[in-house]
Amino acid sequence: MDIVAIDIGGMDIVAMDTAGRIPRLQALLPAAGCDGLVISQLSNIRYLTGFTGSAAIVLVTADEAVLVTDGRYDSQSAEELSRARVTARIEVGLPPVQEKVLEEAAIGLRRIGLEAGSVSWARQRHLAADVFVRAELVATDGLVESLRLVKDEGELGAMRTAAAIADAALARVRPQLVAGIAEVEVANTLDFEMRTLGATRSSFETIVASGPNGAKPHARPSRRLLERGELVVMDFGAVFDGYCSDMTRTLCIGEPASAALGRMVEVVRASQAAGLASVRAGVAASEVDSACRTVIAEAGWSDAFVHGTGHGVGLDIHEGPRVGPTSDATLLANSVITVEPGVYLPDHGGVRIEDTVVVTAEGCRPLTTSPKDLMV
């Protein structure tokens, strides 16, 4: 098989507005009660600066942004921030040097925010005692993430490509689904095809779950062999330029072995359609969950829908907004979410159907477009 990148004709790559993100974050600091913010979550650092390395800290103040990293990323950090047109001071050195730079950059700051979700208690104590000794450290929640909720055209372009790669990979793998092939072999082939088509990696550990394994929403691919007439849940995604896609299709080799299996698929398909129809900017995320859950409950399987309806997608495979019964989020235009209801019955198997969609003022625009017909 020739190894070629996917043809993404019609999907023009648009530059991301990375340079405008630090100023937008700086504008949020006063309301958060901070003179500066320490960003340690790597996906937030990438979002703000374009830096893709595995070790860095960014301090953002009202006047500047400072990125510290180690010698492995000396050239890379300069190249990536220059490419993203981000104005930030870069300092490279061992951890003591990095901490000295941060301490000096924080002189005059009274209150410095830490990302509560990504800083351990031990790390907080160290920063308070040894680095930011003149400032009060305060917990912040979701400052950068609030900016990430709404995707710019460059981000949406990357996600369209990621979704197209996953769609194309499934189209290649689908004819290979035959009785006697192992779940893990199907998963490995999907991962290979996504990489061949241009993905950097898979968005998460690919799920291929057949028969009774499909009743486990996050089953790992096993050596179990696919059989005719049983359902196969395939949940996977591709990463392109840092951005993820996410899709689930439930397939069957031949006719379903029982009427119950066919009905499960019909109910979940109707549930997902109801959820997608309810998506639009200004709608509560919990309403989307309710639309899906109502259809499944009316079929008598409310207890078999054991997870939330969806989640945000972007640089992380799971990010805001959460789409579930207790979510307090309101959907925003150009947010990207999944809609993925499911029914899981240990005696029969499982069904999940999922798409990644862009929220619009009028509804939603699907990024994943693979057919949802059942049989192969």
* Integer Cα distance of 342 and 336 in angstroms: 20
For residues 292 and 273, give the distance between their C-alpha atoms in angstroms, rounded to a whole number.
Answer: 8
pLDDT digits (tens, 9 = 90+) for 319-342: 999 999 999 999 999 999 999 999
* Residue 6 clears pLDDT 80, i.e. is over it: no
Residue 351, judged by CB atoms within 10 A of its CB (0-12, 13-18, 19+), counts as buried
Q: What's the CA gap between 51 and 337, in Å, rounded? A: 25
* Residue listed under structure tokens 């969609």: 357
pLDDT reported for residue 14: 75
- For residue 31, give the DSSP letter: T
Place of tokens 């939330």: 308
163-199 pLDDT, tens digit per residue, is 999 999 999 999 999 999 999 999 999 999 999 999 9
Tell me the pLDDT tens digit for each residue of 138-169: 999 999 999 999 999 999 999 999 999 999 99
Residue with tokens 């996504």: 194
Task: Name all domains of the chain by residue range, CATH numbers in brackets.
Answer: 18-148 (3.40.350.10), 153-366 (3.90.230.10)
Radius of gyration of the chain (CA): 23
* Entry pTM: 0.94
CA distance 55 to 65: 16
- As a residue count, the chain comes to 376
Q: Is 87 helix (H, G, I), strand (E, B) or coil?
A: coil
Q: Is 71 helix (H, G, I), strand (E, B) or coil?
A: helix
